Amino acid sequence: MRRPHTIAIDGPVAAGKNAVGSLLAERLGYRFIDTGAMYRALTWHALQCGIELTDEEALSKLAVDTNIELVSRGGDAAGGVILVNRRDVSADIRRQEVEKGVSLVAMVGGVRQQLVARQRQMAVEGKVVMVGRDIGTVVLADAELKIYLRASPGERARRRHLELLQRGEHASYDHVLADLERRDRLDSGRALSPLQPAADARKVDTDGLDVEQVVSEILRIIESRQ
């Protein structure tokens, strides 16, 4: 099959973007780029620096001054670590305080300007699967294939709650659901690059499907484009 040069995958919190995008990249031999990890990395760095997550000027300057890298592990296109100024923060950026604050940081225009420019540069050579909130609409608006993953709030909260428990973090399902709905409102309601499917995106419902099944559906979509 003729494979798309670039694949953009968007969707709300816990829709399965990372797991699906990572496995899809592995199957295709593409590079996997998790743009959300870049925003979480900057959020983590801001918290470490004592910067208020509502201080847009300070956050924009931090985005300019911070070196954020996504580094593959041993040639694995789908795996990798995230570095902030050469420090591995792959585990740190998954902490609850980072998850709670990342939507605020992602709303800042200066932050988005810096990170979007870097993300576009990362995709220049093609053969990438890039996931996030605004990949098909803004970052890679000319991507050859755009996928928008959907899942019900209840299913997404169940997934995120299980993920937290597996990492040894304790939070009630109701708390996770409330936070997920809060982030949905922030992501969808922000003035810059709001979360929404691109007009030409293929929508894939992931309720009741495992990662393998979703990836199989996307591969079917790729084959059907021939």
Q: How far is residue 164's CA from residue 87's CA, in Å, rounded to a whole number?
A: 23
The answer to whether the beta carbons of residues 158 and 166 sit under 8 Å apart is no
pLDDT value of position 1: 58
* Neighbour count for residue 156 (Cβ, 10 Å): 25
Residues in CB range of 29: below 8 A, 6 or more apart: 77, 127
* pLDDT, greater one: 42 or 3: 42
- Determine the distance from the C-alpha atom of residue 68 to the mean position of all C-alpha atoms in its chain, rounded to a whole number: 15
pLDDT band at 79 (very low <50, low <70, confident <90, very high): low
- Identify the CA nearest to 17 among candidates 99, 127, 133: 133
192 pLDDT band, cuts 50/70/90, is confident
- pLDDT value of residue 129: 97
The average confidence (pLDDT) of the chain is 92
Percent of the chain predicted with pLDDT > 70: 96
pTM summary value? 0.91
Q: Does residue 72 surpass a pLDDT of 90?
A: no
Strand bridging mode 76-84 / 87-88? antiparallel
And the tokens for 28?
Answer: 């295709």
Q: Beta strands 68-73 and 87-88: pairing type?
A: unpaired
Long-range contacts, 118-122 (Cβ 8 Å, 24+)? 118/38, 118/68, 119/33, 119/35, 119/38, 122/31, 122/33, 122/70
**Spatial separation of the C-alpha atoms in residues 143 and 88, rounded to whole Å:** 30
pLDDT tens string 50-61: 999 999 999 999
From 136, 142, 151, select the one nearest 194 (Cα to Cα): 136
Q: Which CATH superfamily is domain 6-216 in?
A: P-loop containing nucleotide triphosphate hydrolases (3.40.50.300)
Burial category of 50 from C-beta neighbours within 10 Å (exposed 0-12, middle 13-18, buried 19 and up):
exposed
pLDDT at residue 122 greater than cutoff 50: yes
Q: Domain segments of the chain: what residues? A: 6-216
Banded pLDDT at 193 (limits 50, 70, 90): confident
Radius of gyration of the chain (CA): 17
Closest among 187, 68, 71, 80 to 117, alpha carbons compared: 68
